[in-house]
């Protein structure tokens, strides 16, 4: 229950709650106490990072990019070579004949049109079940084509910030909840799928499959905004698709798990994260138990799992394998 409440708070854009010392497990307090005895030197941290680099570093990123590219490519080749494996676009499709409908697009259509045909129900429920199993916002980082472009734009942004060419400007994260409500209301009141007009996910998916159009200028504008003004602005502060899948993720067994024992609390994970607030628990003093599940606003992208020098962050499937 605590997981759902806390995840929901973070999804809504509220600050992660900080546990009261009395709520923290005794083991946690003693681990923190132990860590305070030895100060982490820069050299020790570098050594830990170096050692980590010798083993791996971008395992999940490589898997994720490959999945994302192959999946979007499957849409393209299905149409181009008429092999009919995955027909349609990301908003709605048929996978070897089975209906699939993007949850947010389906929601927009249902709110705008106010009638639902059976095929849409089937497609929506199929996708709902699929993403409950696969981790909710994992749609964002493993499927959404805008995410990949934005990730590349983010590298540029971070590089420019490092060189002090530009500054990052943050927005209030609660804006995304407001957008979610506004776009739902607009669909309901105007009777048009207003969000689809500007959704870069749908635009890019259609552009890949059916050929480019002027809508890509808008997507380019968004990317430029993210490169020069605000890091990952669309995904962090606007996109209602992420919120929809975030809700789905509340019930998903696929999560990233944080273990405090070896953690240096150096914050490498929060540096690479799209939604760093979900990793607030890695800040010294903020964990409640030895193991914590990262909230459902997490896109399960695995960047933190890749970067963590102490192996303190890992993917888990609740109810499968060894429980802690």
Partner 1 sequence: MADDTQAKKTRPKRALSPKRKEQARREFLRTSVMAAGVVGFSLLGFLPVAQGKTLRLRPPGAIKTPSDEKDFLSSCIKCGQCVQVCPVQAIELADMDQGFAIGTPYIDARTQACDFSCDGLQCVLACPTGSLDHALDYPADSRMGFARLSRPKACLAIQGKGFKGLARGAEYKGLLRYDEIDRWNPIPVAEHPYDLELCDLCVRQCPIEIRITQCAEAEKQKAGSNQKVERVAKQYGNECPPKHAIGLEEAVAPDGTRVMVPVIKDGCVGCGVCEMICPPEPPAIVIDIDKITDWV
Q: Judged by CB under 8 A, does residue 101 bind partner 1?
A: yes
Q: What is the 3-state secondary structure (H, E, C) of the chain?
A: CHHHHHHHHHHHCCCCCCCCHHHCCHHHHHHHHHHHHCCCCHHHHHHHHHHHHHHCCCHHHHHHHHHHHHHHHHHHHHHHCCCCCEEEECCEEEECCEEEECHHHHHHHHHHHCCCCHHHHHHHHHHHHHHHHHCCCHHHHHCCHHHHHHHHHHHHHHHHHHCCCCCCCCCCCHHHHHHHHHHHHHHHHHCCCHHHHHCHHHHHHHHHHHCCCCHHHHHHHHHHHHHHCCCCHHHHHHCHHHHHHHHHHCCCCEEEEEECCCCCCCCHHHHHCCCHHHHHHHCCCCCCCCEEECCCCCCCCCHHHHHCCCCCEEEEECCCCCCC
Q: Judged by CB under 8 A, does residue 196 bind partner 1?
A: yes
Q: Which is nearer to partner 1, 124 or 312 (CB)?
A: 124
Q: From the list 119, 220, 271, 285, which residue makes contact with partner 1 (rule: CB under 8 A)?
A: 119
Q: From the list 27, 34, 172, 262, which residue makes contact with partner 1 (rule: CB under 8 A)?
A: 172
Question: In this structure, are residues 313 and 305 in contact, taking their beta carbons and an 8 Å threshold?
Answer: yes
Q: Judged by CB under 8 A, does residue 179 bind partner 1?
A: yes
Number of residues that bind partner 1 (CB under 8 A): 58
Part of the chain binding partner 1 (CB under 8 A), chosen from 45-53, 95-103, 265-273, 275-283: 95-103
CB atoms closer than 10 angstroms to residue 61? 18
Q: Judged by CB under 8 A, does residue 223 bind partner 1?
A: no
Q: Which is nearer to partner 1, 45 or 198 (CB)?
A: 198
Q: Which is nearer to partner 1, 28 or 89 (CB)?
A: 89
Q: From the list 9, 35, 49, 94, which residue makes contact with partner 1 (rule: CB under 8 A)?
A: 94
Kindly state the smallest distance separating residue 91's Cβ from partner 1, in Å. 5
Kindly state the smallest distance separating residue 7's Cβ from partner 1, in Å. 20
Q: Judged by CB under 8 A, does residue 144 bind partner 1?
A: no
- Residue listed under structure tokens 């499959």: 209
Q: Which is nearer to partner 1, 13 or 302 (CB)?
A: 13
Q: From the list 132, 166, 178, 250, which residue makes contact with partner 1 (rule: CB under 8 A)?
A: 178
Q: Which is nearer to partner 1, 145 or 202 (CB)?
A: 202
Q: Judged by CB under 8 A, does residue 87 bind partner 1?
A: yes
Which residues of the chain form contacts with partner 1 (CB under 8 A)? 20, 22-23, 79, 87-94, 99, 101-102, 105-106, 109, 112-113, 115, 117, 119-120, 123, 169-172, 175, 178-179, 182-183, 186-187, 190-198, 202-203, 206, 209-210, 213-215, 217-218, 233, 237-238
């Amino acid at each position: 229950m605590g997981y759902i409440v806390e995840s929901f708070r973070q999804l809504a854009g509220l600050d992660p709650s900080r546990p009261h010392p009395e709520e923290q497990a005794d083991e946690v307090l003693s681990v923190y106490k132990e860590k305070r005895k030895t100060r982490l030197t820069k050299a020790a941290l570098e050594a830990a990072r170096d050692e980590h680099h010798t083993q791996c570093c971008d395992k999940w990123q490589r898997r994720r990019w490959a999945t994302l590219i192959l999946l979007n490519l499957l849409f393209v080749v299905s149409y181009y070579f008429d092999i009919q494996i995955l027909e349609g676009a990301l908003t709605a499709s048929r996978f070897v004949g089975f209906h699939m409908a993007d949850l947010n697009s389906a929601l927009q259509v249902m709110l705008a049109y106010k009638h639902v045909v059976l095929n849409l129900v089937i497609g929506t429920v199929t996708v709902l079940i699929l993403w409950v199993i696969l981790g909710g916002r994992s749609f964002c980082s493993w499927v959404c084509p805008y995410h990949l472009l934005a990730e590349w734009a983010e590298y540029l942004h971070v590089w420019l910030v490092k060189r002090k060419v530009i500054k990052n400007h943050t927005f209030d994260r609660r804006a995304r909840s407001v957008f979610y409500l506004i776009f739902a209301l607009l669909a309901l009141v105007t009777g048009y799928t207003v969000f689809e007009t500007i959704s870069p996910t749908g635009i890019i998916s259609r552009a890949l499959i059916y050929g480019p159009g002027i809508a890509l200028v808008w997507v380019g504008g968004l990317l430029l905004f993210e490169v020069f003004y605000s890091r990952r602005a669309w995904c962090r502060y606007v996109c209602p698709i992420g919120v929809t899948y975030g809700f789905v993720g509340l019930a998903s067994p696929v999560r990233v798990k944080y273990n405090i024992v070896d953690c240096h609390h150096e914050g490498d994970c929060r540096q690479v994260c799209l939604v760093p607030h979900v990793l607030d628990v890695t800040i010294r003093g903020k964990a409640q138990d030895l193991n914590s599940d990262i909230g459902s606003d997490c896109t399960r992208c695995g960047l933190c799992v890749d970067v963590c020098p102490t192996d303190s962050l890992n993917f888990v499937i609740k109810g499968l394998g060894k429980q802690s």
